[in-house]
Amino acid sequence: MSDLSVAASLPKALVARLRELEKQPGVQVNRIPVLTTTVSQREILDTVGEAVPGLDLAPLTTLAALTPRRPAVDGVAWLDFETAAYYTAGTNPFASVGTFSGNAEFQPYLRLTLANAPTGTGVLVTCRATSIAVGPHYPGYYRVEGPGVAASFEDNARPTTFTFVVPAGGSGPVEIKIYTDPDRIQLWAFYDCTITQI
């Protein structure tokens, strides 16, 4: 549990509860790394994989970079959360999505809403997150659902960067849900997501 001391902004009650959770068989409590820069275009290209073959930097335009400190960009997109155990907008902004008890009344998730349906080839959404309390089953996945979007990304127990495509078409607003499986990742830290026109 000493690794969690790097997230000094966590409330004492949450740290105490995570220490209790860590004592359960098969459960692991990961530290919350400090991320101070937004995702780069190189990271976007590295994580997009086969989703958009032949993608290069030249035509990419960043539409919005959303964080807990800046959860909305007028006319582009906004974030909201269902069951956030802790939320900070300080120097190391993150939202802890989920519950450390494992008994949320509603499924914990982050909702990203695009104000308008994507145009052109669509948009890339690149998110960064890290698992806080995981197990007893491994690996854990970040699951993404929305119109034209169904993807899963394996958690690597460090800041995980994942990119998915929201295809053009339809009408706005477009809601995208990001969540984890509670038997694998009970509590996770969301850092940011960058929306890029392709």
CATH number at residue 52: 2.60.120.260
What pTM did the predictor assign? Answer: 0.83
**Which tens digits make up the pLDDT trace of 132-163?**
888 888 899 999 999 999 999 999 878 999 99
d(CA 147, CA 168) in angstroms, rounded, equals: 10
Residue pair 190/129 in contact (Cβ under 8 Å)? The answer is yes
d(CA 42, CA 89) in angstroms, rounded, equals: 26
Provide the greatest CA pair distance for the chain: 50
Please state the domain count of the chain.
1
**Which tens digits make up the pLDDT trace of 27-67?**
888 888 778 777 877 777 777 766 666 666 566 789 999 99
Mean pLDDT of the chain, nearest integer: 83
- Asked whether residue 169 carries a pLDDT value surpassing 80, the answer given is yes
Task: Determine how β-strand 141-146 pairs with β-strand 174-180.
Answer: antiparallel
Show the domain range for 173: 2-197
Q: What is the DSSP track for 51-96?
A: GSTT--STT-EEEEEE-SSS-EETTTEEEEEESEEEEE-SSS-EEE
